[in-house]
A and B are shown apart, each in its own frame.
Chain A
């Protein structure tokens, strides 16, 4: 199957690719590169009009764990005229052999070089995967700059959460798709059919800009003030929209989902199980969280629908674990009933149900016991901050009592290992807030010893993990400076010396990666040059600590004449034009300002299920809040 393979590509050119056993046997995990998994698609290339390379800029095991990739792969392949193939970043051993043997980056399904495809699409899940995008384009033989690509190159598109600030990739992608893609992807393909083979890429992109949620950077100009801030961002033509409105799915209950075509990889992937999406959006309003804003409004699938989907997914995959997914899973309005029914229905087939990390205010022992009946899952809580004041600042509506009650009941029902996630470097943080993390962890330990010996399980282990906060666009903290690297060091040191119990294990990452994340998260067009420079100097797999090289990045930043601190450490004023201001996520800037002001006063904003906080999403977008939800529960 993998040996010497000839093809006439979609554009009529002759290409050849060979990924022989002589290469595969030399690399680590060769199954990453062979495809052919159950429920993957294969199509006769002579019977399709559009060939699409769906690229995930990380290795196979990571990319195959991403639900959005699976959904859009399905949406595109449901079209008879389109063949969508998956492409992942080859690990460095495979990349070396591919370059040595002149093998161009290929689609996993056909093994054809993606250079000859119509579209090459990248999903932007985290900023530190950007160099992999450049590396993949390069490995595919496609020029990395959009401005240097002609009619014979595929059209490069990007989407996903990081596309909410697309500017650092403005000269990489030909266009960006903002928001949920299930419907929009079809509109793009429909329009492309009109232009395919006519050598009218420019005309296509111009008309594409009329589709809601599409941003074509080459159709806009940016001027800067002397202080480096943005003076003006405007479209070059009258018919090109000034604001790009994100797309949402209005009938979420019936949105496309790979129910019968959920791919089962041969090798183990990071999330090797069925993933069932229960709802989109979040009402909690945590002020550090971008997802909580950009995925609004909350829309749910009905329990009956989910049960029906689960049954088909189990039948078509053979997996023995099903994970419910969403932001803040315990906010699904019919969760108890859904879990109860799922467990009962699939108990006999030994299918376990699992939940991602739980919110401590809604942790229910009954619920966990229900899940545990079939299979044990890990217990993770995310209080995010150590003191009540700090949790109020970030609007994490969780109290110490909530955590203590949950921990106590967990210990009483036989758990002895608990993970606690925190952030350091949060806005308006003091050293007392950092020390508070140690206090909180100690109180969890005390809860354990408060449970009678015969009732608790032996071997208490409380793991505390801290991540460094990175301010993100479209959050109330989008104007805030990031914590300085030297201050991170100090905070970690303080926390380490504040932890006394031997039952507490502290994991920390003190890395300059978060500085670069901050630069890219809130970067503008000028950061694109830094990215290209760093790539040329050899940066790749920056999300993998063994490959991350901060020196390369600092050199690139310096050589491009850029001040990184301008992006990471600068406090913005409310009237500054931010690089992502032209995107309309539905939530208004006024709401974000109001929230930041409340944060300064450590004032909370209640969950919007308790009353509308006027974020704007139900006014500015046509979707309705809580579509499909039962209104029986606000925790």
Chain B
């Protein structure tokens, strides 16, 4: 039985790297006593995959994983047992059974996502001209920046991958809320976006940590973005 599980990786553990985080989740699953399904082979692993890895330092209040259990389990029991065995920094919010039909591809959150919502905070030494700088930026047709890929470096326009963008200035901090492309079809890293904003506004504190929190992940259905756990109910 396959389930889509919504969980958080909170600020406390934002520096846990992806592979370590995967191990942490596997152990949480084992502690929960749920009838997890194992891969075959010499080094059996729990069948588990995350929708999209988080970069070191980025945390999330709305991430997703696909998990498989050997039998059907009440969704609330899954949530309860996982929360009881979770370490500090992981909370489980939703568990949705995913329909499996013969001759149909199994649901994979990795393949289903199209966008993700982020809150990004950048520290500034001086914010007197920040609103002005931001307005100028927003009026630009394109946000061209250098993107590193496996094939090398190249200039790309990242504005086309920004689906929603809003900001405010609180004390010395620029707080942005944005929805950007995420997933296998088109992907914009929140860090790249944050770096672009930081580099194209004056007086940012380049020595400070940029705080990035992912808040939700979406699938696009008929030109509308639907949170993944809701999307899973409809298929």
Contact = CB atoms under 8 A, between A and B. Distances in A.
Interface of A: 1-2, 20-22, 24-25, 30-31, 34, 36-38, 264, 266-268, 314-320, 349-350, 375-376
B120 to A, nearest CB: 14
Contacts of B43: 375
Given A21-B14, A22-B209, A318-B28, 17 more contacts: A25-B15, A30-B15, A31-B13, A36-B13, A36-B87, A36-B89, A37-B87, A38-B27, A38-B87, A266-B24, A267-B17, A316-B31, A317-B27, A318-B85, A320-B30, A350-B38, A375-B42
B27 A268 contact: no
B88 interface: yes
Interface of B: 11-17, 19-21, 23-24, 26-31, 33, 38, 42-44, 56-57, 85, 87-89, 207-209, 211
Contacts of B20: 31, 266-268
B209 A36 contact: no
* 6 A-B pairs with least C-beta separation: A318-B27, A318-B30, A30-B15, A21-B209, A38-B87, A318-B31
Nearest to B210: A25
Given A21-B209, A25-B209, A266-B87, A319 B12 contact: no
A308 B33 CA distance: 17
Contacts of A36: 12-13, 87-89
Which residue among B19, B31, B56 has the maximum number of chain A CB atoms within 10 Å of its CB? Answer: B31
Given A36-B88, A37-B87, A318 B15 contact: no
16 contacts: A21-B209, A31-B16, A31-B20, A36-B12, A37-B87, A264-B24, A266-B16, A266-B20, A268-B20, A316-B31, A317-B31, A318-B27, A318-B31, A319-B30, A349-B30, A375-B42
Nearest to A351: B30
Contacts of B19: 268
Contacts of B28: 318
B51 to A, nearest CB: 20
A375 B41 CA distance: 10
A349 B33 CA distance: 10
Nearest to B85: A318
Given A24-B209, A25-B209, A31 B15 contact: yes
A523 to B, nearest CB: 40
Contacts of A315: 31, 33
B27 A264 contact: yes
Contacts of A20: 209
A315 B87 CA distance: 14
B90 to A, nearest CB: 10
B23 A21 contact: no
A76 B72 CA distance: 43
A596 B207 CA distance: 62
Contacts of A266: 13, 16, 20-21, 24, 87
A320 B87 CA distance: 17
Contacts of A375: 42-43
Contact of A319 (B21, B27, B29, B211): B27
Nearest to A266: B16
Contacts of A2: 12
Which residue among A21, A37, A267, A318 has the maximum number of chain B CB atoms within 10 Å of its CB? Answer: A318
Nearest to A350: B44
Given A25-B209, A266-B24, A376 B42 contact: yes
A30 B55 CA distance: 13
Which residue among B11, B23, B28 has the maximum number of chain A CB atoms within 10 Å of its CB? Answer: B23
A34 B11 CA distance: 11
Nearest to B207: A22
Given A25-B209, A317-B31, A318-B85, A1 B12 contact: yes
B58 to A, nearest CB: 11
Nearest to B13: A266
B12 A34 contact: yes
